[in-house]
Chain A
Amino acid sequence: MSDISPISYSDKTFKVIGTRPVRHDGADKVTGRALYGADVQLPGALHGKVLRSPHAHARIKLIDTSIAEKIEGVYAVATGKDWPDLVDKIADLGEGAVHLKDLSENCLAVDKVLYKGHAIAAVAARDVHIAEAAIAAIRVDYELLPAVTSVLDAMKPGAPILHPGLKTETLGQPSQGPTNIDRHVHFETGDIAAGFAAADLILEREFETATVHQGYIEPQVSTALWNEDGQLKIWTSTQGSFTARHQTAELLQLPISKVTVTPCEIGGGFGGKIAVYLEPVAAILSRKSGRAVKMTMQRDEVFEGTGPTPASFIRVKLGATKDGKLTAGQAYLAYESGAFPGGVIGPGTMCIFSCVELPNAVVDGYDVCVNKPKTQAYRAPGATQAAFAFESTFNELAEQLQIDPIAIRRINGVKEGSRRVDGPVYPRIGYLECLEAAQNSSHWNSPLEGPNQGRGIAAGYWFNIGLKSSVSASVNPDGTVNLLEGSTDIGGTRTSIAMQLAETLGIPAADVLPKVVDTDSIGYTDVTGGSRTTFATGMAAHKVGLKLLEQLTARAAFLWDCDPAEVKVDGDLYRWRDQQLTFKQLAEKLPSAGDPVVGHASVSPEGPTNGFGVHIVDVEVDPDTAKVKILRYTAIQDAGKAIHPSYVEGQMQGGAVQGIGWALNEEYFYGDDHKMRNASLLDYRIPTCLDVPMIDTIIVEVPNPNHPFGVRGVGETPIVPPPGAIADAIFQATGVRATRLPISPPRLWKAMSQLAK
């Protein structure tokens, strides 16, 4: 926790917001009593296991489950044949849409397996050991097909084709002929040729990034109980209970009211727990066996069977005048979508030039199918790859023009009224304020202290989306308020939402009692994702607070026998003439003051808002081994208004650490056989606590004009700058401009040796 107060550009003062109360779910979590998906134990529950493809690409000729079905203790076996007939239909999941037939085939393959780890069949048995034995007894005959696991190879003519029917959609129009490219995005603005003609310096650079996983600690886990009355109940680890309900109901062709999803406490998601994997499979097994079925993934299944985020190839071309003003920018981005169409190229193309004013620009993006797991969102999906490419090129441009990296960002930085290349005009944003905070930071103004060290800087951008949120609240006679919400709590949102209701009512945060409830118990709420929950569900909490205030005022008027309009509310004090009651006193009198005080509110704020961050990092590179040590790290970010500054700092630190992992060591390592070699936390190298220093944070507060308290989403932006900042620091330390992630020791050592020659 930092003791540095946010740098505020607001004159509003608050009573609760901006303080650091103890989190509402803290005691349960530190005492181990919080109920995660693995803690769900239903009477007579069976254990489910999944059979996964050993091949990267193959046609399934035969699945013979007859031997497995006869094993004592096996109650049900499921395959892709158990899916109902699914029409071509798209389901909107909030953070991305999904094609239902593809989703079903990702959960249980039908005709083909498209990646190693692709689920083929599932078994429910008395215990997990019997289930494993049954899985081993299922016979599958394959016809092996050539595979492709690199985005550029998959785009070449003659590449192995994953989906023979796939067409490239360009500006809404489908292409001819078989392809792995599912979508081509194109933006342009101004006159690109004239822009480059006006430049004194033009740089064009190419970048590659590896497939990386969200790396949440808790593997996917789901329990399903399909009752004889046709009601399906699911307990699961998900970022969106309503999204899980929607997908499961559609996949099983059930009316949505037949499915109840209870979101369990979640051990991390980062975008990877929005799409379903186990939920519908456990449901099928439950229907077939007549028992509850619990399924838990092992870590290798998480790596090989759930969504990583795309590997990419990016080319950036920038032109600038000699005084550092950008004249033109061009970008080509090819992102892997994995085994099925529908990747994150959209946000990648929208984010690549999002931090600079660019009068002339062209952006082309491609979403490409490859024989890897279907990619999923990962914290600012698509933005980190794009920012690594842009910020690295921009830093090199600054160096060649001999302009300070912060200065060149201030010259070109976006502000209110700037137009992003893909169209939108920014409202009030805080990018320049973040740059100013970086410029004034103690980190930027202190010298490096030894040889082989370097300091780097990079910026990052991410949206936060609105979508739909609902809350309910009721006032208890002891002066507390129950707050029910549909937003699953991944990063402390129980408290950040409760604090906004507490502020509205003028009561302490501890007196609001937040609870995340199931899909039967609250209005529709979209996923916890897109940095939206504190922003949007917080708006709903504010809105319900206003409704409670109105009722409380009316109850006070009832008690005083006066006109409600004459009751004055000041914080938690209700006054009329010489009478006054605190919120608590009024609550105590509510049982004899008419209808209970209860409110519901829902919101669907339109249009995204915008979060910017700037990161500074010092590294030391071992000249012999090329191992990179992070010496010091400062993350600066516009939070609009930090509801709970410790949580905001936590988000900034967590994102920075994930970005450090992405930059230095994390990657899906594939053999020539297109199979992942490192599907474990031993060889997929997420940073440990010994690999990162304390991440310093500076919160900047430029209030979001579209939120009652000025909140901007903060969860995702902090993963965007790290690779660009670290690559810059490594350049300063070694002279090597790394263009390929991860900048792992063997790769950096090779580049350093070549530079020395």
Chain B
Amino acid sequence: MQDFDYAAPISTHEAVQLLADPGHKAVVLAGGTDILVLLRERRRRATLVVDVKKIAELNELAMTADGGLFLGAAVPCSRIYREAAITEKYAALVDATKIIGGWQIQSRATVGGNLCNASPAADSIPPLAIYDAVAEIAGPNGRRQMPVADFCSGVGKNVMARGDLLVAIILPPIEARSGAAFQRFIPRNEMDIAVASAASLVELDDQGIICKARIVLGAVATTAVRASHAEEALVGQPPSDELFAQAGALAERSARPIDDMRGTIEYRKHLCGVLTRRTLAIAVERAQSKTQ
């Protein structure tokens, strides 16, 4: 491993100053499950590692006044799925946090880090995107918010500039008659990276007709990709297996995957259809169980 300095600021302001220091190539350490590996394997360079786990704001996990969720950027996955209020409301996010790594990893790894790392196969990004989550970023020029869907700009790349720090991810409140689910496909049953993944959200009206749908696919493009045509096909329809299959077929067309050691282009597209269909079925079931 390369030599680096270590700092553990206790305020967001202090962290931003450190990250903005032109004398350093600084990286952020939250759970460390990605950055430590990257540094050790010399795939990332850093002269300063800024540990953000001691910043109170980044460790906050709470329902907001309007019924949404404030998810501090340094909150580990295991805190999310242990919180009953969250598991009830944001089931797709919980689906994802339960399968990111094993128990030890889940106790360290953060959703914020998963987002910043910007892997096309990140498990938490499609669920955040279907909930229209917003990233709150602190920087040298103050704070700003942007949709999570626009946060990643490429493989391993995000929109943050020097000095920027992801403070939190804010999930808007969800409608009562909605349900969501996330699934990924991996060849094994553990210790694997998604070959393809899908998060689906549906909202039902009083008659049980789908009035809103969100489908976001993972691992099939440079960033998570929204399956808009599939969403459109769902709205105004009563849920049915045929409808989910039709949406799945449309979702395949939104995927722009590559061939690599994890899968082929045609297989990944096919998986988008399967996973869309399967997550829609679960999402509708979850929505219906709430409406009853």
Contact = CB atoms under 8 A, between A and B. Distances in A.
Interface of A: 129, 132, 136, 624-625, 627, 664-665, 669, 677-678, 681-683, 685, 687-688, 690-691, 744-746, 749-750
Contacts of B191: 681-682, 688
Contacts of B187: 627, 664-665, 685, 744-745
Interface stretch (B18-26, B54-62, B262-270, B283-291): B262-270
Interface in B190-204: 190-193, 195
Interface string B150-186: 0000000000000000000000000000000000010
A669 B263 CA distance: 11
B274 A625 contact: yes
6 contacts: A129-B1, A136-B42, A665-B188, A688-B188, A690-B188, A744-B187
A682 B2 contact: no
B188 A683 contact: no
Given A682-B193, A691-B188, A750-B267, 20 more contacts: A129-B2, A132-B42, A625-B185, A625-B271, A627-B185, A627-B187, A664-B187, A665-B187, A682-B192, A683-B193, A685-B187, A685-B192, A687-B188, A745-B185, A745-B187, A745-B195, A746-B264, A749-B270, A750-B264, A750-B266
B260 interface: yes
B292 to A, nearest CB: 29
A486 B83 CA distance: 57
B274 A624 contact: yes
Contacts, number: 55
B66 interface: no
Contacts of A682: 191-193
A702 to B, nearest CB: 37
Contacts of A690: 188-190
Interface in B245-288: 260-264, 266-267, 270-271, 274
B242 interface: no
Contacts of B5: none
B206 interface: no
B261 A691 contact: no
Given A129-B1, A625-B185, A685-B187, A745 B192 contact: no
Contacts of A683: 193, 261-262
A745 B2 CA distance: 39
Contacts of B266: 750
A663 to B, nearest CB: 12
B261 A749 contact: no
Contact of B3 (A129, A685, A691): A129
Nearest to A668: B261
Nearest to B278: A624
Contacts of A691: 188-190
Nearest to A689: B190
A450 B166 CA distance: 49
Contact of A669 (B42, B188, B261, B270): B261
Overall SS of chain B's interface: loop
A627 B187 CA distance: 6
Contacts of B274: 624-625
A181 B26 CA distance: 53
B103 to A, nearest CB: 13
Contacts of A129: 1-3
A701 to B, nearest CB: 35
A688 B189 contact: yes
A627 B193 CA distance: 15
A677 B260 contact: yes
A528 to B, nearest CB: 29
A627 B267 CA distance: 12
Nearest 4 CB-CB pairings of A with B: A669-B261, A746-B267, A690-B189, A624-B274
A629 B262 CA distance: 18
Most chain-B Cβ atoms within 10 A of its Cβ — which of A625, A669, A678, A749? A625
A749 to B, nearest CB: 6
B108 to A, nearest CB: 17
Contact of B188 (A624, A625, A685, A750): A685
A690 B262 CA distance: 19
Contacts of A664: 187
B189 A678 contact: no
A688 B260 contact: no
Contacts of A627: 185, 187
Most chain-B Cβ atoms within 10 A of its Cβ — which of A665, A682, A687, A746? A746
A681 B193 CA distance: 11
A669 B187 CA distance: 15
Contacts of B267: 745-746, 749-750
A745 B189 CA distance: 13
Contacts of B193: 682-683
A160 to B, nearest CB: 23
A425 B187 CA distance: 43
A749 B195 CA distance: 14
A625 B1 CA distance: 40
B188 A746 contact: no
A677 B187 CA distance: 17
Contacts of B263: 745-746
Nearest to A744: B187
B230 to A, nearest CB: 17
A353 B1 CA distance: 51
A351 to B, nearest CB: 29
Contacts of B3: 129
B190 A688 contact: yes
Contacts of A132: 1, 42
A136 B2 CA distance: 12
Nearest to A684: B261
A691 B190 CA distance: 8
A688 B195 CA distance: 17
A240 to B, nearest CB: 32
B87 to A, nearest CB: 22
Contact of B261 (A624, A625, A678, A681): A678
A282 to B, nearest CB: 22
Contacts of B190: 688, 690-691
Contacts of A750: 264, 266-267
Nearest to A664: B187
A482 B124 CA distance: 58
Nearest to B265: A746
A681 B261 CA distance: 13
Contacts of A624: 274
Most chain-A Cβ atoms within 10 A of its Cβ — which of B2, B185, B188, B263? B188
A129 B40 CA distance: 10
Contacts of A681: 191
B101 to A, nearest CB: 11
A707 to B, nearest CB: 40
Nearest to B196: A625
A681 B263 CA distance: 17
B198 to A, nearest CB: 12
B274 to A, nearest CB: 4
A664 B189 CA distance: 13
Contacts of B264: 746, 750
Contacts of B271: 625
Nearest to A687: B188
Most chain-A Cβ atoms within 10 A of its Cβ — which of B261, B262, B274? B261
A691 B185 CA distance: 14
A687 B261 CA distance: 16
Most chain-A Cβ atoms within 10 A of its Cβ — which of B3, B185, B267, B274? B267
Nearest to A629: B189
Contacts of A677: 260-261
Interface in B134-158: none
Nearest to B273: A624
A479 B262 CA distance: 59
A166 B41 CA distance: 37
A691 B189 CA distance: 6
A750 B185 CA distance: 16
A724 to B, nearest CB: 20
A678 B193 CA distance: 12
Interface in B41-59: 42
Nearest to A669: B261
